[in-house]
Structure 1
Amino acid sequence: MDISHVTQDIWMLRFAVGQAYAVRLPEGWALVDCGSAGSEGEILDALAGLGCAPGELRDIVLTHSHKDHTGAAAAVATATGARVLAGAADAPVIRGDAPEPPPVLLDFEVPLYESIAPTVPPAPPSPVHRELVDGDTLDWGQEARIVHVPGHTAGSIAVHLPAAGVLFTGDTIASHEDAVILGVFNVDREQAVASFRRQAALDIETACFGHGDPIVKGAGDALRAVAADLS
């Protein structure tokens, strides 16, 4: 796992597939997404290296239900006592009470999906201690506002820190070869495009994606430029 510093209080934990973000709070820490099953040891080691003792991890926010983002959540929550939060519509999948709806793949996505999906182990069921809906806020020393951004999954959420100008997009938006793109493997492309545009309208400087390098400066302008051409 590769660890890189994004902003003063945010670090990216990059796995073989996907990534998570450690966020230092005034009192404790939070994780946005949690990697695939089996990565819990690396996550806990990374947090310890950043100065986060197990009992200091407060929240694990899952941006959506896909196994490369939720697989280690149950183990990390058990090891730290952190609460797990996720979008209400994805919570049954994360808990193991409902199957993961399959994506509707475009032609170019089929070989990509077939090469990646089998490499990610199934996600063990995880508790969801709080189900999040649009407009909910978390007290992270500054307001962390939940934005419901369906399309990648029904319950996909983004986390917006207005004061810091930071947005965690999950897989609704990605970066690839230094370009911002609509996330792939969506259950509803029309919804995904609308969710991209909603996020592009936010006032942000930094965008942290579920896949691809973050944009540290000028993220809002970069998202709006792409949103204008989406169809």
Structure 2
Amino acid sequence: MIAEQLNPDLFLLTLGGWPAYLWRDPDGVTLVDAGPVGSGADLLRALDEIGVERSDVRRLVLTHFHDDHAGGAAEVAGWGGVEIIAHESDAPIIRGDRPGPPPSFSDAERALHARVAGDLEPAPACRVDTVVRDGDVLDIAGGATVVSTPGHTDGSVALYLDRPRVLFTGDTVAEHDGVIMRGVFNLDGEAAAESFRALTALPAEIACFGHGRPVLGDAQAILTTAAAAMITV
């Protein structure tokens, strides 16, 4: 199975080992991230498992430009009728107008990146239909607020669904072996840590991370505790 149901309308998608998410509204679905290059077939299988059609996909929100999140975006854009959404700072990179800056690796991160992501194909250029900024509200789940979370990349974003209290953090926050931590491979680690702390102000019940298992209850308190400890790699 590629699609794991987390609540009646929320699904974790595992795309060749890389996570993405799907939110289902009565009038269609939203994808949050699209996995690495070649994820299109897995995304279609996930839709089939959930029982929705490709034509039901209304939009794809990209949390940032990295290859494991935006690599499959061009395939999704090719389905037709899907709105591609990204932050104004990362949109030029996703479009292929300029290269993305590399992370500021620690020695440990450099070795980890080579092991887990060194063979990822570069994300092909993909159109961006809608450029967003901090505080913009998207028509998802009755209103989803875009939260700018610079640090991992300049244009990293989180997405907060107010009514169901669901937070998509992108790579600003990660989970590994039950530990919630600041994500790795950041452009600016201190800025990423500050973005992590800012997310704790949101009254989230569920938190979905760019990597690792989501938190399915009392997410705000769990994130607050983790941010205070600020466990990093």
Q: Which runs of 4+ in 1 moved over 4 A?
A: none
TM-score (norm 2): 0.95
Percent identical among aligned pairs is: 43
TM-score (norm 1): 0.96
Partner of 1:91 in structure 2?
91
- The alignment partner of 1:216 has SS state of coil
Report the Cα distance in structure 2 between the residues aligned to 1:51 and 1:14, rounded to whole angstroms: 16
State whether structure 2 residue 183 is matched by structure 1 residue 183: yes
Partner of 1:214 in structure 2?
214
Code of the aligned partner of 2:38: G
Structure 1 window deviating more from structure 2 (103-112 vs 204-213): it is 103-112
Count how many residue pairs are aligned between Structure 1 and Structure 2. 231
Report the Cα distance in structure 2 between the residues aligned to 1:151 and 1:18, rounded to whole angstroms: 21
**1:3 to partner: Cα distance:** 2.2
- Superposed CA deviations along residues 50-88 of structure 1, whole A, max 9, x for unmatched, are 122121100100000001101111111211420100111
Partner of 1:56 in structure 2?
56
After superposition, the CA RMSD in angstroms is: 1.3
Contact 1:154 1:187 in 2 (8 A): yes
State whether structure 2 residue 209 is matched by structure 1 residue 203: no
Structure 1 window deviating more from structure 2 (138-147 vs 1-10): it is 1-10
- Please, which runs of 5 or more residues in structure 2 have no aligned partner? none
Contact 2:85 2:129 in 1 (8 A): yes
State whether structure 2 residue 157 is matched by structure 1 residue 157: yes
**1:48 to partner: Cα distance:** 2.4
Partner of 1:21 in structure 2?
21
Shift in alpha-carbon separation, 1:199–1:229, aligned structure 2, 3 A: same
Contact 1:34 1:71 in 2 (8 A): yes
Shift in alpha-carbon separation, 1:56–1:111, aligned structure 2, 3 A: same
- Superposed CA deviations along residues 107-143 of structure 1, whole A, max 9, x for unmatched, are 2212101112322111110000001100000112411
- The alignment partner of 1:228 has SS state of helix
- Please, which runs of 5 or more residues in structure 1 have no aligned partner? none
Partner of 2:127 in structure 1?
127
Contact 1:62 1:84 in 2 (8 A): yes
**1:16 to partner: Cα distance:** 3.4
